Structure 1
């Protein structure tokens, strides 16, 4: 994996090869769709972690390392989602305070 320098962050070369600009007439996902999909993914991770913990606590076939990994993954995803929410709320407050 190659590292990206700060000067490359906003150039086309820094984008992965799979990201392509939208073609006219092609439907693109909105920010709302992206956000809802992210929330669904985090929710799914939380449910999988809960299920893994329940399986382990009831004596089912569950590897403790896998359960711990699932819980940590869900926790990290939730924390990231909360940071994104906090940043969006901060930006919203700043935009709301702009005098026109």
Structure 2
């Protein structure tokens, strides 16, 4: 198997999962197997993410960098979501986060 680039892998992911509404996860071993790599860097993950974002998909990892998540991106504004989820009067009581740290 030849080693494929982040762009090629992104295209493969997009072709297979673009319509998925919940997302999927892949292990480090899955990515090594699918790309033909023995290892890969965080830069490779960033490149995959960069290639997928225009298609409304994000590629992220957990803190241990052993599990990777391909998830659809929602372009729903947080304020619109709260206004629809709660009564408008309750939303008016939402205050900005305290930035002072006290």
Band the TM-score falls in, shorter-chain normalisation: under 0.3
Structure 2 length as normaliser, TM-score? 0.23
Larger Rg: 1
Q: Which protein is richer in strand relative to its size?
A: 2
